A = this chain, B = another copy of it.
Amino acid sequence: MAKKPKNAISPLRSEDYPEWYQQVIRAADLAETSPVRGCMVIKPWGYAIWENIQKVLDKRFKETGHKNAYFPLFIPTSFIQKESEHVEGFAKECAVVTHSRLEADENGKLVPAGELEEPLIVRPTSETIIGEMFSKWVQSYRDLPLLINQWANVVRWEMRTRLFLRTSEFLWQEGHTAHETKEEAIEETEKMLAVYKEFAEEYMAMPVLTGEKTEGERFPGANITYCIEAFMQDGKALQAGTSHFLGQNFAKSCDIKFQSEEGKEEHAWTTSWGVSTRLVGGMIMTHSDDDGLVLPPRLAPAHVVILPVIPKEINRAAVIDYCKQLKADLEAQHYEGESVRVELDERDLRGGEKMWSWIKQGIPVYMEVGPRDIENNAVFLGTRDKSPKERQNLSKEDAISSISEILDGIQKNLFHRARTLRDDHTFEFETAKEIYKFFDKEKSSNGFTKAGFVSTYWAGTLETENNLKSRHKVTVRCIPLNQNNKEGVCPFTGVKTKTKAIIGKSY
């Protein structure tokens, strides 16, 4: 076997976390920047992860009664202007279409022509255009609830972009629903938040807090914004999904009215909720290590790679045949109700290089098979949640029959490891001074996890939030839904409260 580098990724997490993140993406061939400012190219391995995310969520959305539809990419300027908070939130950074063709100027250079009467913006989110359609579709209480989801691309013109986490164009799903009553709309908002939490924890193996956003962090136009908030290995928070109770704000601005069972004309109550390709970034930062990407098996494009070891050309046919049979046997096994996904890597690379290429890509299980293994009817098996040094010999039969169990073990281990890291880095302090000190110092605890979450009593205002943000670069990440209902004192305002909040730095 070829020599392996001490660690496959440089720099290490402890040296430069943001740069480590970029290098993990690069080494795993997930995505890259494009020549179009702020827009990324999602490469096959990264896109396959997104497809797996879509598949699971789409099924859950349909199980909870939602139907998919598709709405226009463009939104007329006059639409976005309908809801005053909404327009303020999105007008600052949007792609504006002003012309309908290109024409050559006198130098042969293409310039915009055919100016539009009304400029269009590329959707940053679709409340206004979907609201417009809902206003036509909803007439009577019998038309409610209206439960729609859309898988789409959206654009928000970001100044500083980072692959998956913040890009000008990204892929997402946006659910939009309309209801008869406030209670039903809030129930929907909470139900979809629960779907997100379950998905994040069960599939991404990424523990999340569910909570409510404070005024300063709310979606422009929402009455309540719920979120799932995840903990990244560098101690920062990632808002991984949001579910908004929009009250009657959009129903009023888009004129979504219905005749109630009692014959009264009322405005509907609407919700919207979404997760995006940002989830892939969260997954990377939750699990990956200094050797590269670590994938939770339930979302991995491939579960197992078989690596034939061919010391001499004379062994080739026998080794390849054995590996092909092993692949077929593994594929006959089931994981999560589907065939185990197996790759056989026959590339003509040195063994070490080949193995490390898969480790960097986050393959959950890798099996080396050489002539000696064949003699012993064995495989040499490594799992991505452990060091390659912990590889072990397993009989071929055991490797095959226990593959589903092995994958399940990795999935659980990743979740527990991530939850432990988060819990170990969630702190409580008595005074505001201690909290400021904590965040200002960027306390380094285990080499790469800086800072962390602070759990504190909270009775702050928008002003308190702005102060925290501008002076200490931290925000209230959420007011967790689980509160223990004991009273305490808000260290920022001195006000007694039963509400606790999670404060942290965020992506």
In the complex, whether A385 has a CB less than 8 A from a CB of chain B is no
Query: Closest approach, in angstroms, between the C-beta of A49 and any C-beta of chain B?
Result: 11
Evaluate whether A129 and B34 lie within 8 angstroms (CB atoms) in the complex, with A47-B68, A148-B44 already known: yes
Chain B, residue nearest A111 (CB): B119
B-contact bits for A56-85, CB 8 A (1 contact / 0 none): 000000000001111111111101110000
| B94 lies within 8 A of A96 (CB) | no
Residues of A within 8 A of B (CB-CB), count: 60
Q: Which of A102-127 contact B (CB under 8 A)?
A: 102-103, 110-112, 114, 119-122
Q: Which of A22-44 contact B (CB under 8 A)?
A: 32, 34-36, 39-44
In the complex, whether A97 has a CB less than 8 A from a CB of chain B is yes
The CA of A90 and the CA of B343, in the complex, are separated in Å by: 41
Q: Which residues on the B side are within 8 Å of A42 (C-beta)?
A: 69-70
Q: Which residues on the B side are within 8 Å of A470 (C-beta)?
A: none
Which one of B41, B110, B122 lies within 8 Å of A133 (CB-CB)? B41
B-contacting residues of A (Cβ < 8 Å)?
A: 32, 34-36, 39-44, 47-48, 50-51, 67-77, 79-81, 87, 91-103, 110-112, 114, 119-122, 129, 132-133, 148, 152-153, 155, 157, 169, 171
Which one of B76, B80, B99, B171 lies within 8 Å of A70 (CB-CB)? B171
The CA of A114 and the CA of B111, in the complex, are separated in Å by: 17
Query: Closest approach, in angstroms, between the C-beta of A163 and any C-beta of chain B?
Result: 12
Query: Closest approach, in angstroms, between the C-beta of A346 and any C-beta of chain B?
Result: 13
Query: Closest approach, in angstroms, between the C-beta of A135 and any C-beta of chain B?
Result: 11
Evaluate whether A44 and B69 lie within 8 angstroms (CB atoms) in the complex, with A98-B98, A100-B93, A110-B87 already known: yes
| A112 lies within 8 A of B96 (CB) | yes
Which one of B41, B75, B96 lies within 8 Å of A69 (CB-CB)? B41
